[in-house]
Chain A
Amino acid sequence: MSPELERLQRWMQEVVVHPGTVEEAVASAGAEREIPADRLADIVLPSESMTPSERIGVYQGMYLIRMEEALETDYPVIRYHLGDVAFSHLIEAYVQRYPSRSYTLNRLGDHLPQFFLDRSDWPQAKLLHDLARLELAMTQVFDEEESPVLSAEELEAVPPDAWENARLRPIAAFRLLHFRHSVIPHLIAYHEDRPSPNPRRRASWVALYRRDYSVLRLELSRAEHDLLKALAGGTPLGEALAVAAQLQKSSSQRAKIFKWFRTWIAEGLFTSIEA
């Protein structure tokens, strides 16, 4: 392998991914480590109408635009909430910290929740962390493997004496999330093109799942979340339902448990039952 080619590629990458002007990029420490800035004209030829700096600037200028286009696809709610300028500022900082290391741009945004944990000083970091977790989970559910859905017939085939120890297994395209903020109003505001709501620090619980290749959600109470978490985690039905029933004070509240259960089965959240 040519050491010269290696050096040239390291230099060009340093210039291309630099967030400043092209002059700043060429003079950055990373670029200068490979090729001194005053040697630019020895590396890149001018054209009839462009200087070497302008020519490499074509590549450098497109880098952040490309990163932003990819991330606005995955994080439209955050972009809507922040507005274009603040979102661009966020992406510039994010891709410096977490540049793409994958063959696909689909994974570029995987570290955005972590970014807001790292940067707790970022404006609205806690809300943005919740929104990033929501949107990242939506992309994961979108791309998960397709699972067969547990049918009513399969449920009915479980013998009555086997229900106590039966365990449910969720479909692959399922995520259960707990947030410190009320995040769904932000999602709705984006979809309905209404002003993004003021951040509201109030715990919320959401199940994301996919049906007929569309990503859907169920907003849950804490009790629903806890029961669904237990079931999805493999807790035997009898044990999970008994714990949930203990937490419901009245018989009408306890009756809700079965309504929840029917909804989850009807929505196709489970792929199998081991009796």
Chain B
Amino acid sequence: MTENRWSFPDLGLGVGLRTPHYAHILSERPDIGFFEVLTENYLDTGGRPLYMLDQIAENYRTVMHGVSMSIGSTDPIDFDYLAKVKALAARIGALWISDHICWTGVLGRNTHDLLPLPYTEESLKHSVERIKVVQDYLDRPLVLENPSTYLEFAESDMPEWEFVARMAEEADCGLLFDVNNVYVSAYNHGFDPVEYIDAIPGDRVCQYHLAGHTNKGTHIIDTHNDHVLDPVWELFGHTIQHVGLRATLLEWDADIPPFEIIHQEVLKAGDWRRQEVANVA
């Protein structure tokens, strides 16, 4: 087990903030360690979403999680976007800002998908340079999530875990370690997820993600629409042993159930956290 190098706190168990749950959260005040806010949902609104977010941020710790930073894109960095991200983080007191190791579009377009990078020295250098620029602008470490991917590029000359680990070290950024994504990509590409986890520099991990997925037989899609599956829980346990305790978030973005069901699911992560800490002790 390791300590996080920036001393980002272990916020315990968190849930992704979703619109259908606003009223429940504000009326019932569930015992949740933190909420993860989908960054882009709050950048251009002065209406109900921001009003709700302000109230929730007054009562809970928050972190921000974006999908449009496009850190691996060959398009120019969008500083107008970053300015809004920075302003929102200041407004709600977000403890950290995360996005994904991916690109979302080029030539000014946005596909709104988390598209995969080739794992090459060139794309590593390109991503590292951009992460440094973004961190400098945001004046804080950027936290980046390992993606779920559905294809591999022939030109890749290193495994994903080496790319992720080197990127984090060379850019001096944080990692949001998505355990479900490791499982999904391992299934899709036929690698050993434990080898991936063991290669991750634990002191750079600031947060964990857990989620459900959909197995199509030939491949798995990262759908975030169901309970976390047992093999992912097992990998989560192994990750705690390797990395340590970190803020742990359950994502549930489609077929969203009542808040209580999501809350019960994330409480299972608490059981795993206690169990793995006891094992180490």
Contacts and interface: CB of A to CB of B under 8 A. Distances in A.
Interface in B101-123: 103, 105-113, 115, 118, 120, 122-123
Contacts of A142: 45, 47-48
B interface, over-half SS:
loop
A5 B122 contact: yes
B45 A143 contact: yes
Contact of A107 (B44, B103, B115): B44
A12 B115 contact: yes
B111 A17 contact: yes
Contact of A173 (B41, B47, B68, B112): B47
B221 interface: yes
A58 B110 contact: no
A103 B48 contact: no
Interface in B70-105: 73-74, 78, 81, 103, 105
Interface residues of B, number: 45
Nearest to A12: B115
B280 interface: no
B43 A13 contact: no
B261 interface: no
Contacts of B103: 9
Nearest to B39: A103
A144 interface: yes
Secondary structure of the A side of the interface? helix
Interface of B: 40-41, 43-49, 51, 68, 73-74, 78, 81, 103, 105-113, 115, 118, 120, 122-123, 125-126, 150-155, 188-190, 217-219, 221
A-B complex: 4 closest residue pairs judged by Cβ atoms: A145-B46, A103-B68, A213-B48, A55-B151
19 contacts: A8-B153, A8-B155, A9-B106, A10-B106, A17-B111, A45-B151, A45-B153, A47-B189, A47-B190, A58-B151, A59-B113, A59-B115, A63-B113, A70-B112, A101-B109, A101-B110, A106-B44, A107-B44, A173-B47
